[in-house]
């Protein structure tokens, strides 16, 4: 996406600022520089029996990035977003002043910075509260489901019984297999490792293929093999945390497999009341377009509210689809997925977006002007220029015409 890109200016890389400043092994509160990677936070806290309350699909996200995108994980139904566990943020704005933002200090700026896509200023450091866990290992159970109806029947009970829950969908399956998939549930194992595993990649894609390797024939075979291998035993088993939370981190430069034109990711969330209609419609639109998604993930969001002004997760079901970039053909499909989502009362994720129109953004985030009011005037992104600033121009024209 382009929410962290700035075609009209500069981008600041905060990764050199990566010091863990303090950690309280009694309370689990950790303070670190904004450039500290999640994998380093895990490695530091794990021996004391702590783990981040929310982790996204990669451990190579920075602390500042996790806050600015208000990332979510497989346990939103219990823990909400990353922002729910932020105690305080130190923010540098273009007026040269440093602001301490928390639920009691600079409250409005605190809410705007969480999920604010870096638009409120430069996050220098933050304090977060980790959760106590019996071990890093996960007791994982894999349950097959025949179709989406069966998944929806399983989902709420799975959330109530487990810390983590996520489903994989065989997006290319048709006929009687349409909507089939695997439901992964997990909890931290009572007895297991307290030492973080090495965060490096075991495999890599050394060169850029001249074409998309993840084509439809490959995906059809891969999906069948994956479903058989992962779903062959319903018995719970103990697995390492990296394979459970961060499977793609094991393959460096995996995105190269999509070919030189790269990929688009579309993530939507629709209200629970409309999910049984909207989710099948989204999958069917992709199937009709002949577009295969390598990773098709379906999760249930809970009702834990984020302190963020703008936050993508909200109660309902979220579907993530990855498509190779085939130019206008893919853009037409993504526009159709946008339409289905907003007509169902849902939202499209801006943090992973590279082409959303301003009207879709406004429909997804009707209170976007609250963030614009607190945006640092010296900070802008390609995404904000493409969406919010265009809405501002259109609003100005409408007012001038009155």
Domains of the chain: 138-361 (3.30.70.2520)
Mean per-residue pLDDT of the chain: 91
| Percent of the chain clearing pLDDT 90 (strictly above) | 74
Bigger pLDDT: 377 vs 252:
377
| Lowest-confidence region among 24-33, 108-117, 179-188, 224-233 | 224-233
Residues 98 and 289: their CA atoms lie apart, in Å, by: 50
Is residue 299's pLDDT more than 70?
yes
Is residue 2's pLDDT more than 80?
no
Confidence of residue 209 (pLDDT cuts 50, 70, 90): low
Is residue 157's pLDDT more than 90?
yes
Residues 402 and 400: their CA atoms lie apart, in Å, by: 6
Bigger pLDDT: 262 vs 398:
262
pLDDT number for residue 50: 98
Tell me how crowded residue 228 is: count the other CB atoms within 10 A of its CB: 9
Condensed to tens digits (0 to 9), the pLDDT of residues 27-86 reads 999 999 999 999 999 999 999 999 999 999 999 999 999 999 999 999 999 999 999 999
Confidence of residue 375 (pLDDT cuts 50, 70, 90): very high
Q: Read off the pLDDT of each residue in 102-111 and give the average, rounded to a whole number.
A: 98
Condensed to tens digits (0 to 9), the pLDDT of residues 222-270 reads 667 767 677 777 889 999 999 999 988 877 766 777 777 888 999 999 9
Is residue 308's pLDDT more than 80?
yes
pLDDT number for residue 210: 67
Bigger pLDDT: 204 vs 98:
98
Name the most confidently modeled range: 44-53, 166-175, 197-206, 254-263: 44-53
| Lowest-confidence region among 32-46, 86-100, 108-122, 291-305 | 291-305
Is residue 399's pLDDT more than 90?
no
Condensed to tens digits (0 to 9), the pLDDT of residues 142-156 reads 999 999 999 999 999
Condensed to tens digits (0 to 9), the pLDDT of residues 69-93 reads 999 999 999 999 999 999 999 999 9
What is the Cβ-side half-sphere exposure of residue 391, based on CA atoms within 13 angstroms? 18
Bigger pLDDT: 315 vs 393:
315
pLDDT number for residue 42: 98
Residues 304 and 83: their CA atoms lie apart, in Å, by: 11
pLDDT number for residue 248: 82
CB 92 within 8 A of CB 121: yes
CB 360 within 8 A of CB 338: yes
Task: Quote the tokens at residue 2.
Answer: 């382009």
- Ranges of H-type helices in 290-379: 328-343, 358-364, 368-374
Residues 58 and 362: their CA atoms lie apart, in Å, by: 28
Is residue 359's pLDDT more than 90?
yes
What residues contact 289, with CB distance under 8 A and at least 6 apart?
329, 332, 333, 336
Left, alpha or beta for 113 (phi > 0: left; psi -120 to 50: alpha)? alpha
Is residue 204's pLDDT more than 80?
no
Left, alpha or beta for 259 (phi > 0: left; psi -120 to 50: alpha)? left
Is residue 304's pLDDT more than 90?
yes
CB 82 within 8 A of CB 64: no
Query: Which of 77, 245, 275 is CA-nearest to residue 159?
Result: 77
pLDDT number for residue 263: 85
Residues 260 and 107: their CA atoms lie apart, in Å, by: 44
Characterize the bridge pairing of strands 122-129 and 181-188.
Answer: unpaired
pLDDT number for residue 3: 77
Is residue 117's pLDDT more than 80?
yes
pLDDT number for residue 76: 98
Bigger pLDDT: 395 vs 388:
388
CB 357 within 8 A of CB 292: no
pLDDT number for residue 234: 81
pLDDT number for residue 367: 94
Q: Read off the pLDDT of each residue in 333-347 and give the average, rounded to a whole number.
A: 98
- Residue labelled with tokens 């309370």: 27
Q: What stretch of H or E contains 157?
A: helix 148-161
Task: Quote the tokens at residue 338.
Answer: 């946008």
Bigger pLDDT: 177 vs 238:
238
pLDDT number for residue 253: 67
């Amino acid at each position: 996406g382009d929410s962290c890109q700035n075609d009209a200016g500069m981008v600041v890389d905060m990764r050199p600022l990566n010091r863990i400043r303090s950690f309280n092994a009694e309370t689990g509160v950790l303070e670190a520089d904004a450039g500290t990677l999640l994998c380093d936070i895990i490695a530091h806290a794990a021996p004391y029996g702590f783990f981040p309350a929310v982790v996204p699909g990669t451990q190579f996200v920075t602390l500042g990035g996790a806050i600015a995108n208000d990332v979510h994980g497989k346990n939103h139904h219990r823990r909400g977003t990353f922002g729910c566990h932020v105690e305080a943020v130190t923010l540098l704005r273009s007026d040269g002043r440093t602001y301490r933002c928390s639920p009691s200090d600079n409250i409005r700026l605190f809410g705007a910075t969480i999920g604010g896509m870096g638009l409120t200023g430069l996050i220098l450091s933050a304090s977060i509260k980790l959760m106590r866990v019996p071990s890093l290992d996960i007791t994982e159970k894999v349950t097959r489901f025949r179709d989406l109806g069966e998944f929806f029947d399983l989902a709420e009970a799975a959330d109530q019984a487990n810390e983590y829950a996520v489903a994989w969908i065989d997006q290319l399956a048709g006929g009687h297999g349409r909507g089939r998939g695997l439901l992964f549930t997990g909890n931290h194992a009572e007895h297991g490792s307290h030492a973080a595993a090495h965060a490096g990649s075991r495999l890599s894609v050394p060169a850029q293929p001249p074409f998309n390797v993840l084509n439809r024939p490959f995906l059809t075979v891969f999906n069948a093999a994956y479903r058989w291998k992962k779903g062959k035993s319903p018995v719970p088993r103990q697995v390492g945390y990296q394979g459970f939370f961060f499977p793609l981190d094991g393959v460096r430069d995996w995105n190269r497999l999509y070919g030189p034109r790269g990929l688009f990711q579309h993530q939507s969330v629709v209200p629970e009341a409309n999910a049984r209609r909207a989710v099948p419609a989204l999958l069917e639109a992709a199937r009709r377009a002949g577009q295969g998604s390598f990773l098709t993930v379906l999760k249930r969001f809970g009702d834990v509210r984020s302190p963020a002004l703008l936050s993508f997760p909200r109660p309902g079901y979220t579907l993530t689809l990855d498509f190779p970039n085939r130019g206008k053909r893919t853009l037409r499909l993504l526009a159709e997925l946008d339409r289905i989502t907003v007509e169902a009362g849902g939202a499209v994720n801006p943090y992973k977006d590279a082409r959303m129109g301003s009207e879709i953004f406004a429909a997804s985030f009707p209170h976007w002007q609250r963030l614009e009011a607190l945006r640092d005037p010296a900070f802008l992104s390609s995404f904000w220029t493409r969406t919010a600033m265009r809405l501002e121009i259109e609003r100005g024209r409408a007012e001038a015409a009155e």
